[in-house]
Chains A and B, each alone.
Chain A
Amino acid sequence: MDGRLLFLETPGNTRMSLAYDESLYRSFKEGDKPILRFYRHDRSVIIGYFQIAEEEVDLDYMKRNNIMLARRYTGGGAVYHDLGDLNFSVITESHDMNITAMFRTMNEAVVRSLSYLGLQARPGELNDVSIPINKKTDIMAGEKKIMGAAGAMRKGSKLWHAAMLVKTDLDMLSAVLKVPDEKFRDKLAKSTRERVANVTDFVDVSIEDVEKSLIKGISEVLKIDFKEDTLRDDEENLAKDLYDKKYSTEEWNMGLLRKQVA
């Protein structure tokens, strides 16, 4: 099957970038070609759909360090992105409402992609991928998360999007996210800084190398031949509408607006 490969990014405007993601998902119609999109964001914190900004992040710290706040359409937790983090979205036709199966398939695709870079990754229980750490040689035993994902589904289409830490500033990441102690109750790592790692902590690769391996791995697992394409007019128009009515507003980004708009 043929698919569309989109290099569609607005690095200086994370909110617009997220409007594009929702637009691609909502514009998707039965019979459309599946989409694989790659994009990056300059220093930003993106909170999940169910989160409230002031509970999750240090807003003063963000202001002082010029970090943009944005909120995405999907659930899950707050993430920190900079240009060393690679984001990618997959939008496919859906015949069921099984998001767990999509997480599983995409974890498999990512693990396969990373193997082409010489990394033996491990899929998490639901929506993340980690690198196991040798307990004998590393005092912070256990595993380090390098990718997290979230998803949305409706009748007709599914969206899965993920963020991979390639060479992100992890000190900045752990400084800005206020992760409550409860999150570490059942984990070996006791802080965000201990819990995460960059791909480049393990292998010497560029963002482009990671991108290429992901295109290969995702194409193989989904059996889709992704060919570079551009945005359709209806996708562009809906994205602009979503940006104006939702993603550009403080009410949305702070986590206070929950009803559907646009």
Chain B
Amino acid sequence: MHVNRNWKAKKGLIRVSMDVENGVINNIKISGDFFMFPEESINELENMLKGSKIDNIKSIIDKFYNEGIITPGVEPQDFVNAIAGE
């Protein structure tokens, strides 16, 4: 099943385009007008999410942020909502 979802954080729109089968993310592309430092971390986030269960999204996002990622105006929960839905 292909899913497209837009989630508006306080500062920035997060766009998610992904394929989900049996609760597992097969493919995911995250885009949008947010800020993320370091910028290239977005690739790592997508790699961490590929093959993961939608139910585990929160712990994956937390692990990602624990590496010192900075996203002004966007909270970790925004990425959880963008991927898993509200």
Contact = CB atoms under 8 A, between A and B. Distances in A.
B33 A48 contact: yes
A152 B39 contact: yes
A150 B72 CA distance: 11
Interface stretch (A70-78, A136-144, A200-208, A230-238): A70-78
Q: What is the size category of the interface that chain A forms with chain B?
A: 20 to 34
Contacts of B12: 76-77
Interface stretch (A113-121, A163-171, A178-186): A178-186
A220 B12 CA distance: 31
A77 B70 CA distance: 17
A99 B42 contact: no
A49 B38 CA distance: 12
Given A55-B15, A126-B11, A258-B42, A50 B31 contact: yes
Contact of B31 (A51, A74, A99, A152): A51
A183 B35 CA distance: 15
Interface in A90-115: 97, 99-100, 103
Contact of B70 (A73, A97, A126, A185): A97
A151 interface: yes
A260 B40 contact: yes
A56 B29 CA distance: 15
Contacts of B31: 50-52, 55, 255
**Helix, strand, loop or mixed for chain A's interface?**
loop
A151 B39 CA distance: 10
A153 B72 CA distance: 13
A157 B6 CA distance: 33
Interface in B37-60: 37-40, 42-43
B85 interface: no
Interface string A25-68: 00000000000000000000000111110011000000000000
A182 B37 contact: no
A135 interface: no
Interface in B10-39: 10-13, 15, 29-39
Contacts of A151: 35
B36 A75 contact: yes
Contact of B36 (A50, A56, A77): A50
A80 to B, nearest CB: 14
A107 to B, nearest CB: 13
Contacts of A97: 37, 70
B76 interface: no
Contacts of B32: 50-51
19 contacts: A50-B34, A50-B36, A50-B39, A55-B31, A73-B39, A76-B12, A78-B33, A99-B70, A126-B73, A127-B11, A127-B72, A154-B38, A180-B6, A180-B13, A182-B13, A185-B8, A258-B42, A259-B40, A259-B43
Closest 10 CB pairs of A and B: A77-B33, A75-B35, A182-B8, A52-B31, A100-B72, A126-B11, A126-B73, A48-B33, A182-B6, A50-B31
Interface of B: 6-8, 10-13, 15, 29-40, 42-43, 70, 72-73
